[in-house]
Structure 1
């Protein structure tokens, strides 16, 4: 305390001895100074607190502004409703993420099938509302064909008369009493070229095995209606034959045939089919003998299978190609063709009329979609009964409009492709999809630097392969430029019956396919329709294709949260990119690589998938699905890394409201949603794993999934060990 205050006048006052006069005199001044100091401290503290409180509020505001916001657009509301309807949030995601995302999946169509049907609904809307469009002559034919296809009243009124006319053009048959014994090869040539039916073998154009832009004719085994197997129980075989016999007899009756003759001819037709089937060799046997495909000339095939006039039949089918005896063919199973030829020769000597009936009965089955409801119902009933006998799930029944959309799309693809692009794949959508693909591709290139089993040379070549890759997105060049798709279809004659329109379209399509192969194409020929939902990688052209039909809700939309687009469409893109390197994973496919590390990673992958439980009665071959499993498990990892990199560069991420999922949780949910499918619809010959494994396999291998869903150690989705392949 300052001494000046001790010299004041209050020192002259007297106070009791027991108390200090100084303390007594100075107390009021000391109290004044202490209170002021405390007030200042309180004010300073209050100011600091206010600043801290204000900054905290500001930080909270900033974080809320920059953090994920609910997406309120109509597209997001639709997606949210889709997720809520399909999932089952009562299931713990760490225990069964497939059920969490897909529900029990019973009666659920696969996500790809559901998207394909939605695309067909869009095409239906286009085809049923032509008034708002300025159509050219060719486009108008597409709309006319669709209209005649859905006009079931006219088709029913025509009855079997159009089909009887076709049979007469082929020479008739004994079943109806009128039969002209035409030359066998002339009839076969007509069936192949005018009706698109191949009773004894299939022939089609494909790219040459070593010259991808050069067409070659491939000869394959026929497609059998009977679901026969090399090793089949006699009881099942007898039931299948009985059902097929009843079906053929029903066809003959619908065509006015004598019941006794119909039964006899139907039985001998089945006998011919059964013998042809016995000539087939298992695929494994052909691979073991290294005779999966053989190159032979038409002349050489004529010597080995003389019953068929190969040059005349193929020339008629593939006009305007100019074929000669020295023309090379790709043959799938030469032994089958030799035995088939011998059987045909025997039938021609003994049962020429039965051979004719066999071909016509097969043609009627092929044409059933263009016939009236009685023929269609006979076909549908056969298929359902055969699926029951072979313990396959029932075939879903499609509405008439959907079948008509499919047929119109097949015959008038250029027109419908351009219309679909205009309707469903705007420049904004294409730009956003290409931006997503670029992010996936760049992430893969960066990730290849850390693949442990690759040597430096292979790594550099792999990165170059990705860099040089072409990408086709949306549709072919002519679909993206509608003016190029306005074909006139001058060779298509519509009417007088729907069957005649159908057959005219069959001939026109075949001619266009041949003409397409004969043109010098520097670019890739698309193998899927523009509205299709299948992406693929072409080895011969080193191009990856993503059709517009795949880049649609719920897989992709420019207005979706990025987590959805990366988790769904991004994972699909990465999956297809990894197929560039499938050859490296095969035995001996990468001699310079660290074989021990690669085989260890593949073995780990097999064991990882085998450790995941499946529904009872469902099993799979891990070796058969290995390449697809590798692409699945790597595809999700690449897409997640690409998404994480994008989060570091861009703000404004959104989420779906009312789902209680963070952006990264939404990423995983979106991937799983793509794989939703009823397990019972999975077929053992499918190169992909069952749908539950396609979800649990990749996601349980990712530590990020367990971290973001807080899965306890040892849970199904948080195993003790993981595999690193890509």
Structure 2
């Protein structure tokens, strides 16, 4: 601030005081200089080397004195920067924990402008192993441990309350001594209800559709197809029965690597299940072999989802009659009976009771060709012996589904299968969470999600966290809305379409609104019976869940239903509902905390929020998706992006296909650009910013540090089906194409993190 001095009075008065005022003035000036340079030294001390280049720039100008000031000196302190002004270090316990984590994981000897991933995450070659985990995996395990502590805490919940039943189920699941003591008797009772089983006695030749109807309606088991009630994809989104492929436990493709060994492992597994239930080993082997043959034929009849998308056959509206009754199938003489082997009306009536169904009921079939092929597999050999094999196939499938509720012998059999598949394929399609408490938390979450979710949110995501995260999301949304005007490749019509989606977009944060508003004690689960065996309790919970789900679909107007529980760490954007979801389990330290500096929250959580919003652009980035756009500019920038990512070398063991991950790469870059802009906007209305102590990082540098920290992970953890680039590329490929990063870290032109040119898609 410039200070203007004026002097009124005679020259004589000034002369008589000249000496005294001169010394006083010099003292004031020296004090001022001391304060200014103290500030300078403070920032310099905390910004040694290139790590503090985004701190505030300031200058001292010496102004010659006016004639009336004699020998004095004026000082003009100019504080000229748009950068946030640190108000001091954040020394809350949460911040200190984060500092310790940053210091432990990073590599101080790495140069940010050469290898920022190493600088933040540590050395890939020496610090990461196959056992290493990324940030989200670590956070997921923390959330699981929180749930465990809640369920095992000695809280005296009323036994019939929602919390009481939730905890009671978990403890029953954990009581493996009682489960083992029950042996196979509980499941033997189930077999008798299904009409018996030839390989374990009490056998009467059953009716195929009678067994199928009981499996679907009472046990929620769908061995040949999946049937569920869900709003139809198109307006007016009324609930409709939908038929789809079943969930195949094992992919039986003959061209698969180690196909023979996989078949042997699965055959051995089914044989073990049958013998545990009292069957003769040789008889079980025969039935298990036919069951595998049936599964293989069903799998080959199913079309992959990607293929159905390309062919425009995602679903087809039809009626129950058209699936079964002759003469109904649109004049197609060859396929008048699409799937006559199944008594569709009887099975669907039992499954969706009390919904009234008739043969003219409209339904949606997702893969009509699979349904036709499935019917042929079922009816290919209409003999008593083949019906016997079909019964075995259905019972063996039910055993696998109910293994979490059976004794340790069955669980060991499934664990052995999982290990063998891991050895043969590198990954296991069967997910078994061990130790036991993880599996029990998974099952408890399945049956009691509303109550367990409310308990989790109450403990880990208070109102302050909710409000802060909501404000941050609003900033991200507004920043993207403003940034639309800066996209030179997008035409005005497309820009208005995106703007409309953004303005109508719903952000759901923490947990579903109805869960946050409701009292979890109201979820009394009156229809759940805790039986003498855990299997009976498990089956009662399954039936209760199916009925609650169906009531919810029928009674509630169409609205978005969360695809993840509140304790999960996965955010997502629903295109059909235009809703973006950020569960409370994700918005936890070290990703998000209200105590953190805003730079940390915007860098990690803010970038994740923006990443989901960037998926709105996906339809415009694919070939032919935006015909009115400046195609030349758009394709040029996408090609630039693809070539840019391909220019980086990757650690051994990592896989990458630049065209395969192009849309995710584009979303990553756009997300960080938008999150940084949102952070800048935030600073304009929220003056001052704390920093993390001991790191020597300015606010903008801390933003990029936080983003990169959320990406830390070993390339060995990369799923072959993952559409994201390996972690190191999500840091280097992204940040090296953002000029602001190079500026705040003072990266010289031509260094890996500041290449000669930058792609400008966003």
Q: Normalised by the size of structure 2, how large is the TM-score? A: 0.85
Cα offset, 1:184, TM superposition: 0.6
Tell me the distance in 1 between the aligned counterparts of 2:305 and 2:576.
Answer: 23
Is 1:228 matched up with 2:263?
A: no
Counterpart residue number, 1:210:
234
Tell me the distance in 1 between the aligned counterparts of 2:526 and 2:585.
Answer: 28
Is 1:432 matched up with 2:451?
A: no
Is 1:51 matched up with 2:28?
A: yes
Tell me the distance in 2 between the aligned counterparts of 1:131 and 1:620.
Answer: 49
Counterpart residue number, 1:576:
612
Cα offset, 1:205, TM superposition: 3.0
SS at match of 1:304: coil
What pairs with 1:656-695 in structure 2 (closer than 5 Å)?
A: 656-695=692-731
Distance 1:443 1:132, change over 3 A: farther
SS at match of 1:701: coil
Higher deviation after alignment, 519-528 or 434-443: 519-528
Q: 2:287 pairs with 256, 259, 265, which one?
A: 265
What pairs with 1:321-360 in structure 2 (closer than 5 Å)?
A: 321-349=355-383, 350-360=385-395
Q: 2:112 pairs with 88, 93, 96, which one?
A: 93
Verify the 8 A CA contact 1:319 1:511 in the aligned structure 2.
Answer: no
Verify the 8 A CA contact 2:571 2:582 in the aligned structure 1.
Answer: yes
Counterpart residue number, 1:125:
149
Is 1:310 matched up with 2:287?
A: no
SS at match of 2:110: coil
Cα offset, 1:81, TM superposition: 2.3
Any idea what the Cα deviations from partners look like across 1:660-712, whole Å, max 9, x if unmatched? 32222221121122222332222222222222222222212111222223333
SS at match of 1:380: helix
Counterpart residue number, 2:55:
none
Is 1:420 matched up with 2:420?
A: no
Verify the 8 A CA contact 2:418 2:428 in the aligned structure 1.
Answer: no
Cα offset, 1:82, TM superposition: 2.4
Tell me the distance in 1 between the aligned counterparts of 2:190 and 2:714.
Answer: 42
Cα offset, 1:720, TM superposition: 1.7
Q: 1:320 pairs with 333, 351, 354, which one?
A: 354
Distance 1:289 1:227, change over 3 A: closer
Tell me the distance in 2 between the aligned counterparts of 1:258 and 1:230.
Answer: 29
SS at match of 2:380: helix
Tell me the distance in 2 between the aligned counterparts of 1:323 and 1:307.
Answer: 19
Cα offset, 1:603, TM superposition: 1.7
Verify the 8 A CA contact 1:213 1:520 in the aligned structure 2.
Answer: no
Q: 1:72 pairs with 83, 91, 97, which one?
A: 91
Verify the 8 A CA contact 1:370 1:499 in the aligned structure 2.
Answer: yes
Any idea what the Cα deviations from partners look like across 1:194-228, whole Å, max 9, x if unmatched? 22221112222333111264223332222222233
Verify the 8 A CA contact 2:161 2:521 in the aligned structure 1.
Answer: no
Tell me the distance in 2 between the aligned counterparts of 1:218 and 1:609.
Answer: 42
Tell me the distance in 2 between the aligned counterparts of 1:39 and 1:613.
Answer: 77
Any idea what the Cα deviations from partners look like across 1:60-94, whole Å, max 9, x if unmatched? 56676963522111111222222233333333333
SS at match of 2:222: coil
Cα offset, 1:39, TM superposition: 13
Distance 1:147 1:397, change over 3 A: closer
Cα offset, 1:517, TM superposition: 0.7
SS at match of 1:218: strand
Q: 1:199 pairs with 223, 240, 245, which one?
A: 223
Verify the 8 A CA contact 2:432 2:439 in the aligned structure 1.
Answer: no
Cα offset, 1:282, TM superposition: 4.4
Is 1:362 matched up with 2:397?
A: yes
Cα offset, 1:385, TM superposition: 1.0
Distance 1:128 1:190, change over 3 A: same
Cα offset, 1:240, TM superposition: 0.8
Verify the 8 A CA contact 1:478 1:484 in the aligned structure 2.
Answer: no
Tell me the distance in 2 between the aligned counterparts of 1:396 and 1:663.
Answer: 43
Verify the 8 A CA contact 2:157 2:163 in the aligned structure 1.
Answer: no
Any idea what the Cα deviations from partners look like across 1:287-323, whole Å, max 9, x if unmatched? 4433232222221122201111122222222233322
Cα offset, 1:136, TM superposition: 5.8
SS at match of 1:632: helix
Tell me the distance in 1 between the aligned counterparts of 2:688 and 2:394.
Answer: 65
Distance 1:61 1:158, change over 3 A: farther
Counterpart residue number, 1:647:
683
Any idea what the Cα deviations from partners look like across 1:160-218, whole Å, max 9, x if unmatched? 22122222221221221332222111111111222222111222233311126422333
Counterpart residue number, 1:168:
192
Tell me the distance in 2 between the aligned counterparts of 1:118 and 1:215.
Answer: 37
Distance 1:687 1:215, change over 3 A: farther
Any idea what the Cα deviations from partners look like across 1:520-556, whole Å, max 9, x if unmatched? 3254322221222222222232222222222111111
Cα offset, 1:557, TM superposition: 0.7
Tell me the distance in 2 between the aligned counterparts of 1:366 and 1:651.
Answer: 56
SS at match of 1:209: coil
Q: 1:531 pairs with 557, 567, 588, which one?
A: 567
SS at match of 1:386: helix
Tell me the distance in 1 between the aligned counterparts of 2:286 and 2:687.
Answer: 75
Cα offset, 1:347, TM superposition: 4.2
Tell me the distance in 1 between the aligned counterparts of 2:716 and 2:355.
Answer: 45
RMSD: 2.6
Cα offset, 1:43, TM superposition: 7.2
Distance 1:114 1:596, change over 3 A: same
Tell me the distance in 2 between the aligned counterparts of 1:508 and 1:100.
Answer: 52
Is 1:461 matched up with 2:490?
A: no
Cα offset, 1:133, TM superposition: 5.6
Tell me the distance in 1 between the aligned counterparts of 2:643 and 2:587.
Answer: 33
Q: 2:211 pairs with 170, 175, 187, which one?
A: 187
Any idea what the Cα deviations from partners look like across 1:221-270, whole Å, max 9, x if unmatched? 2222223336325xx11111111111111112222221111211111211
SS at match of 1:295: strand
Counterpart residue number, 1:596:
632
Any idea what the Cα deviations from partners look like across 1:98-118, whole Å, max 9, x if unmatched? 333233342222322222222
Verify the 8 A CA contact 2:433 2:439 in the aligned structure 1.
Answer: no
Verify the 8 A CA contact 1:445 1:466 in the aligned structure 2.
Answer: yes
Distance 1:678 1:331, change over 3 A: farther
Q: Unmatched 5+ residue regions in structure 1? A: 1-36
Counterpart residue number, 1:384:
419
Distance 1:179 1:60, change over 3 A: farther
What pairs with 1:599-618 in structure 2 (closer than 5 Å)?
A: 599-618=635-654
Distance 1:427 1:153, change over 3 A: same
Structure number having the greater helix percentage:
1
Distance 1:424 1:291, change over 3 A: same
SS at match of 1:458: helix
What pairs with 1:440-451 in structure 2 (closer than 5 Å)?
A: 440-451=476-487
Is 1:546 matched up with 2:565?
A: no
Cα offset, 1:631, TM superposition: 1.3
Counterpart residue number, 1:520:
556
Tell me the distance in 1 between the aligned counterparts of 2:524 and 2:269.
Answer: 40
Distance 1:128 1:704, change over 3 A: same
Any idea what the Cα deviations from partners look like across 1:598-639, whole Å, max 9, x if unmatched? 222222222222222222343333333222222111001110
